[in-house]
Amino acid sequence: MAAPDLSGVRALTFDIFGTAVDWRSGVIAEARRLGALDGVQADWDQLADAWRAQYVPSMNRVRVGDLPWTNFDQLHRISLDQVLREVGAEGFTPAARDELTLAWERLPAWPDAAIGLQRLAGRFTVASLSNGNRAQQGALIRFAGLPFERILSAEDFRHYKPDPEVYLGAAEALGLEPGQVMMVAAHKPDLRAAQNAGLRAAFVERPLEKGPSGGADLLPDPDADVEAADFVDLADRLGA
Protein backbone atom coordinates (compact mmCIF):
# COMPACT_ATOMS: atom_id res chain seq x y z
CA MET A 1 0.00 0.00 0.00
CA ALA A 2 1.30 3.43 -0.92
CA ALA A 3 2.16 5.82 1.91
CA PRO A 4 -0.49 8.52 2.42
CA ASP A 5 0.23 11.97 1.05
CA LEU A 6 0.70 14.16 4.11
CA SER A 7 2.21 17.14 2.29
CA GLY A 8 -0.86 19.26 3.08
CA VAL A 9 -0.65 18.79 6.85
CA ARG A 10 0.24 22.09 8.53
CA ALA A 11 -0.68 21.54 12.17
CA LEU A 12 -0.58 18.73 14.70
CA THR A 13 -3.09 18.62 17.54
CA PHE A 14 -2.15 16.45 20.50
CA ASP A 15 -4.16 14.56 23.01
CA ILE A 16 -2.56 15.22 26.40
CA PHE A 17 -3.54 12.69 29.07
CA GLY A 18 -1.74 9.47 28.32
CA THR A 19 -0.32 10.71 25.03
CA ALA A 20 1.92 13.58 26.17
CA VAL A 21 1.94 13.00 29.94
CA ASP A 22 1.87 10.00 32.24
CA TRP A 23 -1.38 10.66 34.09
CA ARG A 24 -1.32 7.47 36.16
CA SER A 25 2.04 7.82 37.88
CA GLY A 26 1.41 11.52 38.46
CA VAL A 27 -1.97 10.99 40.14
CA ILE A 28 -0.58 8.15 42.26
CA ALA A 29 2.33 10.30 43.44
CA GLU A 30 0.11 13.25 44.39
CA ALA A 31 -2.45 11.04 46.16
CA ARG A 32 0.31 9.36 48.14
CA ARG A 33 1.85 12.74 49.07
CA LEU A 34 -1.43 14.29 50.17
CA GLY A 35 -2.51 11.11 51.93
CA ALA A 36 0.64 11.22 54.02
CA LEU A 37 -0.07 14.83 54.99
CA ASP A 38 -3.65 13.98 56.05
CA GLY A 39 -2.81 10.63 57.63
CA VAL A 40 -4.85 8.75 55.04
CA GLN A 41 -3.80 5.33 53.77
CA ALA A 42 -5.23 3.62 50.71
CA ASP A 43 -4.32 1.74 47.55
CA TRP A 44 -3.23 4.75 45.52
CA ASP A 45 -2.90 2.75 42.30
CA GLN A 46 -6.52 1.70 42.70
CA LEU A 47 -7.54 5.30 43.34
CA ALA A 48 -5.87 6.52 40.13
CA ASP A 49 -7.47 3.77 38.05
CA ALA A 50 -10.91 4.25 39.59
CA TRP A 51 -10.75 8.01 39.12
CA ARG A 52 -9.76 7.66 35.48
CA ALA A 53 -12.59 5.15 35.01
CA GLN A 54 -15.06 7.93 35.88
CA TYR A 55 -13.70 10.11 33.06
CA VAL A 56 -15.95 8.93 30.22
CA PRO A 57 -19.10 8.48 32.34
CA SER A 58 -18.65 12.01 33.70
CA MET A 59 -18.36 13.51 30.22
CA ASN A 60 -21.38 11.51 29.09
CA ARG A 61 -23.45 13.16 31.81
CA VAL A 62 -22.70 16.48 30.11
CA ARG A 63 -23.21 15.03 26.64
CA VAL A 64 -26.73 13.74 27.39
CA GLY A 65 -27.77 16.85 29.33
CA ASP A 66 -27.77 15.31 32.81
CA LEU A 67 -25.29 18.06 33.72
CA PRO A 68 -24.97 21.52 32.16
CA TRP A 69 -21.62 22.33 30.61
CA THR A 70 -19.12 21.36 33.32
CA ASN A 71 -15.40 21.64 32.80
CA PHE A 72 -12.77 18.98 33.31
CA ASP A 73 -11.64 20.14 36.76
CA GLN A 74 -15.21 20.28 38.01
CA LEU A 75 -16.01 16.81 36.67
CA HIS A 76 -12.94 15.41 38.38
CA ARG A 77 -13.87 17.07 41.65
CA ILE A 78 -17.42 15.66 41.45
CA SER A 79 -16.20 12.12 40.79
CA LEU A 80 -13.43 12.26 43.41
CA ASP A 81 -15.80 11.94 46.36
CA GLN A 82 -17.25 8.74 44.91
CA VAL A 83 -13.79 7.34 44.20
CA LEU A 84 -12.55 8.08 47.74
CA ARG A 85 -15.53 6.15 49.13
CA GLU A 86 -14.76 3.22 46.83
CA VAL A 87 -11.13 2.94 47.94
CA GLY A 88 -11.72 3.68 51.63
CA ALA A 89 -9.91 7.00 51.64
CA GLU A 90 -12.65 9.28 52.97
CA GLY A 91 -10.30 10.79 55.56
CA PHE A 92 -9.24 13.53 53.15
CA THR A 93 -10.45 16.95 54.28
CA PRO A 94 -12.43 19.11 51.83
CA ALA A 95 -9.33 21.26 51.29
CA ALA A 96 -7.20 18.19 50.60
CA ARG A 97 -9.78 16.94 48.12
CA ASP A 98 -9.61 20.24 46.27
CA GLU A 99 -5.81 19.99 46.31
CA LEU A 100 -5.93 16.39 45.07
CA THR A 101 -8.03 17.51 42.10
CA LEU A 102 -5.06 19.65 41.10
CA ALA A 103 -3.04 16.44 40.69
CA TRP A 104 -4.14 16.58 37.06
CA GLU A 105 -2.00 19.72 36.70
CA ARG A 106 1.09 17.95 38.09
CA LEU A 107 1.68 15.05 35.74
CA PRO A 108 5.10 14.13 34.35
CA ALA A 109 5.71 14.28 30.62
CA TRP A 110 6.79 11.10 28.89
CA PRO A 111 10.60 11.28 28.46
CA ASP A 112 10.43 11.81 24.70
CA ALA A 113 7.61 14.36 24.70
CA ALA A 114 9.42 17.69 25.00
CA ILE A 115 12.23 16.92 22.56
CA GLY A 116 9.81 15.40 20.07
CA LEU A 117 7.53 18.43 20.25
CA GLN A 118 10.48 20.78 19.78
CA ARG A 119 11.42 18.99 16.58
CA LEU A 120 7.86 18.83 15.31
CA ALA A 121 7.37 22.55 16.00
CA GLY A 122 10.10 23.26 13.48
CA ARG A 123 7.83 22.04 10.71
CA PHE A 124 4.25 22.22 12.03
CA THR A 125 2.11 24.26 14.36
CA VAL A 126 1.88 22.10 17.48
CA ALA A 127 -1.23 22.52 19.62
CA SER A 128 -2.84 20.68 22.46
CA LEU A 129 -6.36 19.38 21.87
CA SER A 130 -7.56 18.01 25.16
CA ASN A 131 -10.73 17.55 27.13
CA GLY A 132 -8.89 19.35 29.92
CA ASN A 133 -10.04 22.94 30.47
CA ARG A 134 -7.77 25.78 29.48
CA ALA A 135 -6.57 26.74 32.97
CA GLN A 136 -5.83 23.12 33.79
CA GLN A 137 -3.96 22.58 30.53
CA GLY A 138 -1.94 25.76 30.95
CA ALA A 139 -0.79 24.73 34.41
CA LEU A 140 0.01 21.20 33.29
CA ILE A 141 1.94 22.25 30.22
CA ARG A 142 4.06 24.59 32.34
CA PHE A 143 4.65 21.89 34.96
CA ALA A 144 5.57 19.26 32.39
CA GLY A 145 7.69 21.61 30.27
CA LEU A 146 5.88 20.91 27.03
CA PRO A 147 6.53 23.45 24.24
CA PHE A 148 3.05 23.74 22.76
CA GLU A 149 2.42 26.81 20.64
CA ARG A 150 -1.35 26.78 21.10
CA ILE A 151 -3.73 25.44 23.73
CA LEU A 152 -7.03 24.18 22.39
CA SER A 153 -9.61 22.74 24.74
CA ALA A 154 -12.98 21.05 24.65
CA GLU A 155 -13.98 24.01 26.81
CA ASP A 156 -13.56 26.26 23.76
CA PHE A 157 -16.25 24.34 21.88
CA ARG A 158 -18.43 23.19 24.80
CA HIS A 159 -18.19 19.65 23.57
CA TYR A 160 -16.00 16.80 24.69
CA LYS A 161 -14.01 14.52 22.44
CA PRO A 162 -14.98 12.42 20.59
CA ASP A 163 -17.71 14.83 19.50
CA PRO A 164 -16.89 16.09 15.98
CA GLU A 165 -17.38 19.70 17.09
CA VAL A 166 -14.07 19.49 18.97
CA TYR A 167 -11.98 18.40 15.99
CA LEU A 168 -13.73 20.72 13.53
CA GLY A 169 -13.51 23.58 16.02
CA ALA A 170 -9.79 22.99 16.42
CA ALA A 171 -9.21 23.17 12.68
CA GLU A 172 -11.22 26.38 12.47
CA ALA A 173 -9.35 27.89 15.42
CA LEU A 174 -6.09 27.16 13.63
CA GLY A 175 -7.40 28.77 10.43
CA LEU A 176 -7.08 25.48 8.55
CA GLU A 177 -9.21 22.94 6.74
CA PRO A 178 -9.72 19.66 8.64
CA GLY A 179 -7.48 17.77 6.23
CA GLN A 180 -4.60 20.13 7.02
CA VAL A 181 -4.66 19.06 10.67
CA MET A 182 -3.33 15.80 12.08
CA MET A 183 -4.59 14.50 15.41
CA VAL A 184 -1.89 12.78 17.49
CA ALA A 185 -3.04 10.39 20.20
CA ALA A 186 -2.27 7.17 22.01
CA HIS A 187 -5.97 6.27 21.92
CA LYS A 188 -7.39 4.73 18.78
CA PRO A 189 -11.02 5.85 19.36
CA ASP A 190 -9.82 9.47 19.53
CA LEU A 191 -8.10 9.04 16.18
CA ARG A 192 -11.06 7.34 14.52
CA ALA A 193 -13.31 10.21 15.64
CA ALA A 194 -10.82 12.77 14.30
CA GLN A 195 -10.66 10.95 10.97
CA ASN A 196 -14.43 10.83 10.76
CA ALA A 197 -14.37 14.63 11.11
CA GLY A 198 -11.89 14.89 8.22
CA LEU A 199 -8.59 15.19 10.13
CA ARG A 200 -5.52 13.06 9.55
CA ALA A 201 -4.34 10.75 12.33
CA ALA A 202 -1.06 9.71 13.96
CA PHE A 203 -1.02 6.93 16.52
CA VAL A 204 1.72 7.08 19.15
CA GLU A 205 2.05 4.04 21.38
CA ARG A 206 2.18 4.52 25.17
CA PRO A 207 2.32 0.93 26.43
CA LEU A 208 2.66 1.92 30.10
CA GLU A 209 -0.19 4.44 30.14
CA LYS A 210 -2.43 2.20 32.24
CA GLY A 211 0.37 0.71 34.29
CA PRO A 212 2.49 -2.43 34.08
CA SER A 213 -0.54 -4.71 33.88
CA GLY A 214 -1.30 -3.40 30.39
CA GLY A 215 -4.55 -2.25 28.87
CA ALA A 216 -3.15 0.55 26.72
CA ASP A 217 -3.75 0.72 22.97
CA LEU A 218 -0.79 -0.81 21.15
CA LEU A 219 0.80 -0.83 17.73
CA PRO A 220 -0.11 -1.52 15.02
CA ASP A 221 -2.85 0.91 14.04
CA PRO A 222 -3.27 0.31 10.31
CA ASP A 223 -6.12 2.82 10.09
CA ALA A 224 -3.85 5.70 11.14
CA ASP A 225 -1.98 7.76 8.56
CA VAL A 226 1.19 7.46 10.67
CA GLU A 227 2.20 5.01 13.40
CA ALA A 228 5.01 5.83 15.83
CA ALA A 229 6.64 4.45 18.95
CA ASP A 230 6.95 7.90 20.58
CA PHE A 231 7.17 11.61 19.72
CA VAL A 232 10.77 11.39 18.53
CA ASP A 233 9.83 8.52 16.22
CA LEU A 234 6.88 10.61 15.01
CA ALA A 235 9.23 13.50 14.21
CA ASP A 236 11.44 11.11 12.24
CA ARG A 237 8.48 9.76 10.29
CA LEU A 238 7.18 13.25 9.49
CA GLY A 239 10.60 14.56 8.46
CA ALA A 240 10.84 17.09 11.29
User: What does each C-alpha distance from 115 to 13, 111, 134 come to in angstroms?
Assistant: 16, 8, 23
Res 2: pLDDT: 59
**Cβ contact 11:124 at 8 Å:** yes
CA dihedral 15, 78, 156, 141 (to 10 degrees): -50
Residue-level pLDDT, tens digit, the chain, 240 residues? 557 889 999 999 999 999 999 999 999 999 999 999 989 999 999 999 999 999 899 999 999 999 999 999 999 999 999 999 999 999 999 999 999 999 999 999 999 999 999 999 999 999 999 999 999 999 999 999 999 999 999 999 999 999 999 999 999 999 999 999 999 999 999 999 999 999 999 999 999 999 988 899 999 999 999 999 999 999 999 999
End-to-end CA distance of the chain: 23
**Nearest CA to 30 among 57, 141, 38?**
38
Per-residue pLDDT at 1: 53
Q: Where are the domains of the chain?
A: 11-22+107-237, 23-105
pTM of the model: 0.96
Residue type, 59: M
Size of the chain in residues: 240
| Class at the top of the CATH hierarchy for domain 11-22+107-237 | alpha beta
Helices (H), the chain: 23-38, 44-53, 55-63, 72-86, 94-101, 113-121, 134-144, 154-157, 164-173, 188-196, 231-237
For 23-105, CATH gives: 1.10.150.240
